[in-house]
Amino acid sequence: MKELLENLKTVAIIGCSANKYRTSYHIANYLKENGIRIIPINPNYEEVLGVKCVPNMDGISKDIPIDVVDIFRDSQHTADMVRQIIEWSEKRGQKPVIWTQLDVSSDEAKKLAEDAGFTYIENECMMVQHERVTG
């Protein structure tokens, strides 16, 4: 995890909110302020933190390498998000780390990710871990 966080360049954030009271907004803002490119994924917004929002993984430009996909969805949706990441990965030839925030993971999502050969980090706050490693 240390090497990943020290070399982090681009994070796609599923469920990124434009609501400044949401955790996903704070973490996206933290990442952006620390020079990490964010790609907010949420069909409900045009932009978050001045960055164009895409509705799903397929909306990410083909020329952008993704290091991590950070999931901010209720745990009942996490397995479906992982399925979408796997499908996207098969089309794009990328295998980003799948990161689930606190209480977002599910056993099904973890099994899907690991069976497909993805690194799967669960129940960790990316901001806390990044500050710990780089601070």
The yes-or-no verdict on residue 1 having pLDDT over 90 is: no
Q: In the predicted model, what is the mean pLDDT of residues 14-18?
A: 96
* CATH code at position 74: 3.40.50.720
Question: Rounded to two decimals, what is the model's pTM?
Answer: 0.96
**Residue 45 pLDDT:** 97
Compute CA distances 50 → 18, 39, 133, whole Å: 10, 11, 27
- pLDDT tens digits, 101-110: 989 999 999 9
- Angle at alpha carbon of residue 35, lines to 33 and 38, rounded to 5°: 85
Look at residue 17 and give its three-state secondary structure: coil
When divided into structural domains, the chain yields a total of: 1
Report the C-alpha gap between 78 and 80 in whole angstroms.
5
pLDDT tens-digit profile of 19-75? Answer: 999 999 999 999 999 999 999 999 999 999 999 999 999 999 999 999 999 999 999
Domain that holds residue 72: 2-134
Q: What is the pLDDT of residues 73-100, one digit of tens each?
A: 999 999 999 999 999 999 999 999 999 9
